[in-house]
Each structure stands twice: as structure tokens, then as C-alpha cells.
Structure 1
Amino acid sequence: MLRSMYSGISGLKNLQTKLDVIGNNVANVNTYGFKKSRVTFSDAMNQTVSGASAATANKGGTNSKQIGLGSTIATIDTIHTQSSLQTTGRDLDLGISGDGYFVVKQGDSLSYTRAGNFYLDDNGTLVNANGLKVQAYKIDENGKRSKTIGDVAVNVNAILPAITTAKISVSGNLASDAIDGTVFSQQMKVVDEKGKEQTATIYFQKNGDDKWELFDEEPAALGDTSATKPKPFTSVNFDGNGQIVAADKTQTGQTINISSGNEDDSDTAVDESVQKVNLDFDFSNLTQVKGSTTALVNPDGNKEGKLESFNIGSSGEINVVYSNGLITTLGQLAVAKFSNASGLTKTGGNTFQESINSGTANINIAGEGRGVIASGSLEMSNVDLSEEFTEMIVAQRGFQSNSRIITTSDEILQELVNLKR
């Protein structure tokens, strides 16, 4: 039988595979996070009619004579190029700008995806469209990130408990060139033992070259001998370089007055009693140099707050915003990177899994050798319709050409059969 006929058959089969791949690409032109594929060919084995011969003193060398036996599929590659990001404005739509894949889990099996259209299930767990749980590093109350990844849940009914103010940090500068008797005040909000937010004012009064006294009510002018003038609850001293002396850096158990006014429904104060509270002060970041007075009083503690909203930052941090103004971080999304992303195995549902040739997943957070996360965006498919239709035309013409090889070979065989007539 003619070898050309079987070469044509191999070409038809391979070009049919190419058309199948093109068809799948076109079908997923609007699939978020989809990565297109391509087919490459190589020639099949060659039949050697005669081998090459070396040159001699009397005769030159000759090349080998080989007849090709058609083509075969060399590779079907997945092209992991970055595609454009489409803005959606939805907080749980995430795109990766750069290298990396979101990590999702079902049971004990990890999968990887570029499609970041995520959702919250009935338990508040972050999942993808198929219910696979998105993996993240958890963040504890001290802001420390866990070493292992796990599920992350957002409780939309969460309530942040009130924390009583116990410490006040004072930072900034007190002007060294201010005249004696200068008063500088800072108002602050503190939380009492009942979880209520109260108002307090701290007054700084200069009393000497390197000394400032602190009051919880407006101080009298220097030299005032009035018996009712307020007394300072503490004082701070500075050295010649404007640095606070070591003994004054931290002071514990300072008693100050705070307003405990209660308000009725008409916002009219009905009781403006004063309560005394014991607080620790940290002056380690306070200086006294020439220039402006910029002292800032920052108390800890917070009143009760209910979860109002949450968002995801460029590093994958899941930030929760409470009604009391506090923002806490629940976790940080995990992003995986591979030595050979083209070696990943497609498993459907916009997900990939490791293969023996992809390399082990290197999982960390976004931005550390990986792409950054764009919240409110989704990565589009990287299929280019103009390119796919062009490849479709090439495949179609190649298919027609290989078909012509088969029909021509058939005509030759027909002539051979007719020789017996």
C-alpha cells in the first residue's frame, strides 16, 4: 500500500486534534481565568532507504535516503500568559496581576485557579463557584501570621467586645522654645469599665526649661496662688538633647478625671459626673526640641463594635471594618507559584492540579515574588479570537491538503488495479 496514504491519514488525525483544541479555546473565550492551549506537531519516524556513506580517496560521500511516514503530535501546551483584568466593583472578585494562583481545597486535595470570583457560603467560609474552600493564612490578635494555610470565614454578625482603656501613648514634640506657662491641650476618647466612650482632655503646661506638667483640667497661670487651682497628675523632664529622661519614659497608675456624662434619647446630658480612672502613660516617643508643639495623645481600648464591611487588599489581607472604626485583619490569602506552570494539569471548573512535571507548589502571600491581588477585578480569558480563527483557517487548509493526498493515492491505486484489464 502507498506510504503517502498513511502519511495523509496521520495529517488528518493531527489536524483534527488541532481543530478540537481551537474549538475549546473559542468556547472559553469568556471564561474568567481560562488559559488557552495550542498544538505543535513533529514528523514521525523516517524509513531509511539507504544510509549515508563517507568520502574516500576516489569517491565523495553520499547522504542517506529517507522517506517520512507522516506527522505526529509533539505537544499540547497550556499558555499561562497574563490576561487583562476586567473591573467588576465587587469586593469578592479578585484578580492576580502577575504570577501565581489562588489555592482552593476540597477535602485533603489542593487545587489552583486564576478565576477569583469568590463567594461566602452559609457558614461565612470563602469559597469559589464550585464550593471549593479558598485557603489563607490566619492572622491572630497580635497581627502574627500563621505558618500553615487553612479555611477562612467571615462572620458578618461578628461583634467586637469593648476593651477598657488602660494605657495612653504620648508621642510627638513639645516646643523647647515655648515660654514658661504655655499651655497645650489634647482631647481624647477613652472607654470606661462599662464599655462607654467618654471624653478626657490632657493639658501640657511648661514649667521651666526642661519640664512640662500634665493636668486633667485646665491649669492656672504660673504664679497663681489660688487655693483652688488644679494640681498636675504627673510631670515629665527632658535632658539637654530634648530626649525624655529614662525615669519619665513610662509612668503607671496615674489617676485622671474623665467626664462620665450620660445622655438621654434627646442627646441632652442629664448627669455630668466625673469619675477617676487609673491609666498607664508611655512617654518614650515624646521629645522637646525647637519648633512646633505636635504632642499627640493616643489611648488604647475600644467600645463595642459590629461588623459593617470587609475588603481584601493588594497583598490578600482580609480586612474587617467595625462600627467603632476599628479595622482588624482576619487572614491573608495564599498564592501558589510553580517552577513549570505549563506542567499543571487542567481538572475542570477553572482549576489546575500539580503534575509530576509542574514542580511542587511554592505557597506564600501575594507580592513576595508573586503577583499582587486586584480587588474588584477578574482576569479575563487569554484567548485571542483573531488568532484562533486564523489558526482555524490554517488547520482547515491543512486538512484539505491531507485529504487530497489520500484521494490522489487512491487514484494511483485505481490505475494499478486497471493494469490487469
Structure 2
Amino acid sequence: MLRSMYSGISGLKNLQTKLDVIGNNVANVNTYGFKKSRVTFSDAMNQTISGASAATPNRGGTNSKQIGLGSTIATIDTIHTQSSLQTTGRDLDLGISGDGYFVVKQGDALSYTRAGNFYLDDNGTLVNANGLKVQAYKVDENGKRSQTIGDVAVNVNAILPAVTTTKISVSENLAADAIDGSVFSQQIKVVDAKGKEQTATIYFQKASNNKWNVFDAEPAALGDTSGTSPKPFTSLNFDANGQLVAADKNQPNKTINITSGKEDDTNTPADESVQKAQLDFDFSKLTQMKGSTTALVNPNGNKEGKLESFNIGAAGEVNGVYSNGLITTLGQLAVAKFSNSSGLTKTGGNTFQESINSGTANINIPGEGRGVIASGSLEMSNVDLSEEFTEMIVAQRGFQSNSRIITTSDEILQELVNLKR
């Protein structure tokens, strides 16, 4: 009789815990990146009145007799299912489509989160709502990614220095079926030693079946003997397969004309002048095939540029857009993956930390077996209100039923006490 009362008490305690978890889920229905929890129960100890007996030739076996002693909490699980992404249009709002967690840091401690509402602090460092620093891989000017993660900073006052043009790469195709004397021109922009952008025009003139001459001024018609035609600064020879002969692929230090604007003492643009520049030419990707002439001339170098904006791509790359038209990668966000994400420990502030059962964080860039970044979106809470309210009703009825067990046991005890009268 008293066992039933204590069983009812255990049910009340466990169902109250279930209601606590449901209440926390409902309270976080609008919390970005929140992962709901659930409670599962198991029966507690069982008192064995008599054990089981085996069958004999003269008598069959019997089962054991056991009385349960109530219920207990088996698990409180965190459900890490993907929730839907809500579009916000804000550049620093990031969602992960797929598996993985953003890595944030406070001091030397790493935490992990699915809430991607990030901000820039006064130093330009990318942080979350609580000031934890978002971790990313550094990317140098050559596009090489570092092996370790660190803070990512966006200097809104950054200036990309001017780089003098030293090399021009020429690719695509020169038409093999063009008639001799045909001219194809391509205007290019080069940056001089003072960081100023100047203009150069390259002319390709077909000289014979497998030969083209290259000029930095407009050539005269083929066969002109007036002596006024400029001389080519190089010639290109192709084999029968339309490939450049080895000697013509790389031609260093060719001097060409560039056009620059002169300025007077009042900084008012004046007449243009022609200057000489020595540039290395790379023709290795140029072919001569039938079809159209599409020779593409691509110089290196750039003018000075100021950071105008930045954006974050699907692979987590933080791209800075400069006023000179260049886009450079400032860093690449890190994403962590766990062998048992349900084993992570909630630490408040939409963050998780490793536990002894979660496994070690496997950190890499997005897309390497991990989810990709959805810029301008935030992951919503995965709490389903209809499910939570249904579970609340079940818990409420269970609580009432266990209360009735206690009151019924109390009435029986009252009858027992009244036997003394």
C-alpha cells in the first residue's frame, strides 16, 4: 500500500521535470539556433516477491513475481535536427544548411553555436551577440589558407595598395582561317610605377599561315612599303596543331607603349603622352584554331583601392570588395562537426561545449563534409508548438493520475487507522 504512494510521488517528480523541459522549449520557440529537448522515462527498481522456477518432469515452470517501485528519468535528450532558415537580408546573419556548428571563442575556450546572428565590434572583429569571437582560417594575399583558426577582423578603413603591372597573360584563340593581314585589337589597362592606371592597346596581325605579329600601335596594311608602319614588338609562330612553338610561349621584358595623361600644376588633366613600359608576356595559353578570334589580354597589377563592402560566401569565405574592383578573401569561416552532437553540453547564450561523450570537434571549412553557409539567413528554433502542447496535455493528465494514486492510498490508510475505533 505504501509502495503505491511512493510510486505516485516518483511519477509526480518525473512529470514535473517533463513540464519543466516543455516550458523551456516553448520559451525558446523564437530563439535562433535553439535545439529543443525531450524527456524519456524508464521504470525504477522492482521488488521481487518470488523468483522464477524452471520446469520439472512433474511440474511446469513459474514466472517471478515483482512489484515495481515507480518510474525514473531515463534521458533528457537534445534534438539537433535541422530547422528551417529564415531570410533576413542582413549580410552578417548566417545560417548553416546541413551539419555543423559555428566556432566561437572566449579566451582559450571554444564554444559552438547554430545561431549565426553576428556583429562587428569596435575593432572590426566578428563576434556573436555575447561578444564571443567567431573563428576562421586566415587567407594570405596569394589565396593560401592557414592551418589554424583565429579571430576574423574586417577593417572597414582598409586600403589595398597599388601594384605595378609587370606581366600580361594572353589566352583564348586567334582564328586560323583569318586572311593574311587581318588585325585584331585589344585595349588593356596597366598600372604604372606611380600607381596610376594607364592604357595600352595590343594589335594582332596575321602575317602568314601560322604566324602572327604583335604590335603596340596600329599596324599598316600587310605589304605596306611606305616605312610608316610600326615594327612588331614580337612575333608568334604556331605549329600544325595550332599550338605555339616553345620559344614563343614566354617572352620576358618586351617594351611596349602605354598612354598616360599629363597633369599641370593645377591638377587639371591635359594632353595624353606616350610612355614606354617593359612587361613580361605569357602566350602559353594562346592557340590558333578555326573559328573566331577571341584573344584575351589579362594584365596583373591594380590601382589603390579602399574597402567598400564585404560579403560571406557559401564556403564561408569573407570577401572584401574594394573601390578598384578587386575582391580579396579576408578569411574563411570554420565549421565544427561532432561524432555525437547529442552529447554536447548546453552552456547558455545559444552555445554548446564539448563533453566527454560528444567526441572531439572536427573543424574544417564549410562544404568539406559539413553544411554550407546561407548568408542573409538565420536558422529558426526547431521547437514545434503543436507537439509541445500535446506533450503538455499528456504530462498534465499523467500528473493528475499520479495525484489520484496518492489520494487513494491516503484514503486506504485512513480506513486502516479507523479500524482502531
- TM class by shorter chain equals over 0.9
Distance 1:250 1:189 in 2: 20
Post-superposition offset of 1:227: 2.1
- Asked if residue 352 in structure 1 is aligned to residue 349 in structure 2, the reply is no
Q: Is 2:12 the partner of 1:12?
A: yes
1:345-384 paired onto structure 2 within 5 Å: 345-384=345-384
- The residue that corresponds to 1:68 in the other structure is 68
Partner of 1:304: 304
- CA–CA distance in 1 between the matches of 2:289 and 2:268? 43
TM-score (norm 2): 0.98
Gaps of 5+ in 1: none
- What is the CA deviation profile of residues 266-325 of structure 1, one whole-angstrom value per residue up to 9, with x for unaligned ones? 998512111000000000000011111110000110001000000000010000000000
Partner of 2:179: 179
Q: What is the CA deviation profile of residues 44-88 of structure 1, one whole-angstrom value per residue up to 9, with x for unaligned ones?
A: 000000000111111111000000000000000000000000000
Alignment of 1:87-126 (within 5 A): 87-126=87-126
What are the within-5 Å matches in structure 2 for residues 79-158 of structure 1? Answer: 79-158=79-158
Are 2:230 and 1:230 equivalent residues in the alignment? yes
Query: Pairwise mapping of residues 185-334 of structure 1 onto structure 2 (< 5 A)?
Result: 185-262=185-262, 269-334=269-334
CA deviation string 1:163-195 (max 9, x = no partner): 111000000111111111000000111111111
2:387 alignment partner in structure 1: 387
SS at match of 2:116: coil
- 1:188-209 C-alpha deviation (Å, 9 max, x unpaired): 1111111111111100001011
1:145 Cα deviation (Å)? Answer: 0.6
Distance 1:403 1:227 in 2: 113
Q: Which amino acid aligns with 1:219?
A: P
Report the AA paired with residue 223 of structure 2.
G
- The alignment of Structure 1 onto Structure 2 pairs a total of residues equal to 421
Between the aligned partners of 1:392 and 1:264, the Cα distance in structure 2 is 82
Letter in 1 for 2:5: M
1:416 aligns with 2:416: yes
Residues of 2 paired with 1:194 and 1:231: CA distance? Answer: 28
1:241 Cα deviation after fit: 0.8
In 1: Cα distance, 2:45 partner to 2:249 partner: 84
CA distance in 1, matches of 2:334, 2:263: 47
Which consecutive segments of 4 or more residues in structure 1 shift more than 4 A? 263-269
Matched AA of 2:113: T
**Percent of matched pairs sharing the same residue:** 89
SS in 2 for 1:360: coil
Q: How far apart, in 1, do the equivalents of 2:115 and 2:136 lie?
A: 16
Distance 1:395 1:339 in 2: 32
Q: CA deviation at 1:135?
A: 0.3
CA distance in 2, matches of 1:267, 1:294: 38
Q: 1:100 to 1:253 in 2, by over 3 A?
A: same
SS in 2 for 1:342: helix
Determine the C-alpha separation between the residues in 1 that align with 2:146 and 2:8.
60
Paired with 1:267 and 1:189, the residues of 2 have a C-alpha distance of 22
1:337 to 2:337 alignment: yes
Tell me, what secondary structure is at the counterpart of 1:180?
Answer: coil
Task: Please give the alpha-carbon distance, in whole angstroms, between the structure 2 residues aligned to 1:25 and 1:139.
Answer: 40
One-letter code aligned to 2:147: K
Counterpart-to-counterpart distance in 2, 1:264 and 1:49: 110
- Rounded Cα–Cα distance in structure 2 between residues aligned with 1:120 and 1:77: 34
- The one-letter amino acid of 2:358's match is S
